[in-house]
Amino acid sequence: MMKTFLENLEILSMARGTSGDESAVRKLIYDEVLAYPDCIAKTDNAGNLIVSKKGKTQPKNKLMFSAHMDEIGFIITHIEESGFLRFSCIGSVDSRVIVGKRLLVGRNAIPGLLGSKAIHLVKKEEFDNPTKTSDLYIDIGAENREEAEKLVSIGDRAVFDSDFEKFGDGCVMGRALDDRAGCAMLMELLKEDAEYDFTVCFTTREEIGGNGAPAAAFGVDPDIAVVVEATTAGDYPCVPGDKFICKQGLGPVVSFRDNGTLYDMEIYQYIMELCGKENIPVQTKHGICGGNDAEAIHKARGGIRPVAVSLPARYIHSPYATLKISDMENTLALIKILSKNLCEL
């Protein structure tokens, strides 16, 4: 029996899959989409899961949708004689929000804790400076290196130990909603009968620079690529109006530019007009910031026309991100319409 959207989202949010180690997430998606009609799935050498969806008609434009499977996290780089673990960050991690947080460490997901110098040992001049991740460590309760090496190895990964929950007025919180929410929405897209053929790529290594997406785009060779992502909402205290970027509750975010991509303006304007006709609430991404797999995708082969449709998310790259269910519903409605309209643009 096929799972609902929120069931898939919770399962994917709870799965562990840092950049370069996405196999558990990929298997969950693969096992689910096998039950969907007219879908053929394969994995390429970069670890991307490529799903071809057969429609009623061959399209004028070959269309590709993309969402990344990986998440930020940590990789063990050294085991101290004391049994504490030194680490390096995978992706962009804000050291201000990670001290004291619970982790799942290694292949067996043992519990751990991100530790730092005790507050009474912090010098006065250090209070105004963010803690460096190089000064932090992971505590797994080991007495010494020998005990720690029975539990973890150099190169093992660690992720935040976070639950998935509904809360507030139609909101969810969880780990790795950037971009497991995008993955869950594209799984929903694959469930339904399609008017035109299209391809969905669940990509790897986005958080370390989009290393998986170029291989996916080269293999699929689309005319148009729609990247489904999460982007930073700025609608919380202490953020000036010109830094809001986007706001939760106002629907999907369509970008005209970010730090990596100048988006196809004809398609951008077409989508904004289409949302008006279909009564789908939509917002543009204010400000030039962030980036996603579109940067790598749009330069593949002879060039691919890029689109970014994003979810406004709070607190991404932290132990918990939040999303509004209404934003996910409206974003899903938009990408379903795009699967029909962009093929014949």
- Are 64 and 225 contacting, i.e. CB atoms less than 8 angstroms apart? yes
- Are 338 and 309 contacting, i.e. CB atoms less than 8 angstroms apart? yes
Question: How distant, in Å, are the alpha carbons of 159, 248, 312 from that of 162?
Answer: 9, 22, 20
CA dist 166 and 203 (Å) reads 27
Q: Is 192 a catalytic residue?
A: no
CA dist 131 and 127 (Å) reads 9
Q: Which residues contact 65 (CB under 8 A, 6 or more apart)?
A: 186, 189, 198, 199, 200, 201, 225, 226, 228, 335, 339
Q: Where does 138-288 have alpha helices with state H?
A: 145-149, 177-191, 213-220, 265-277
Catalytic residue among 22, 32, 71, 206: 206
Which of 232, 324, 314 is closest to 281 using CA atoms? 324
Opening angle at CA 180, ends 179 and 184, nearest 5: 125
**3-class secondary structure, 188:** helix
- Are 212 and 206 contacting, i.e. CB atoms less than 8 angstroms apart? yes
Catalytic residues: 206
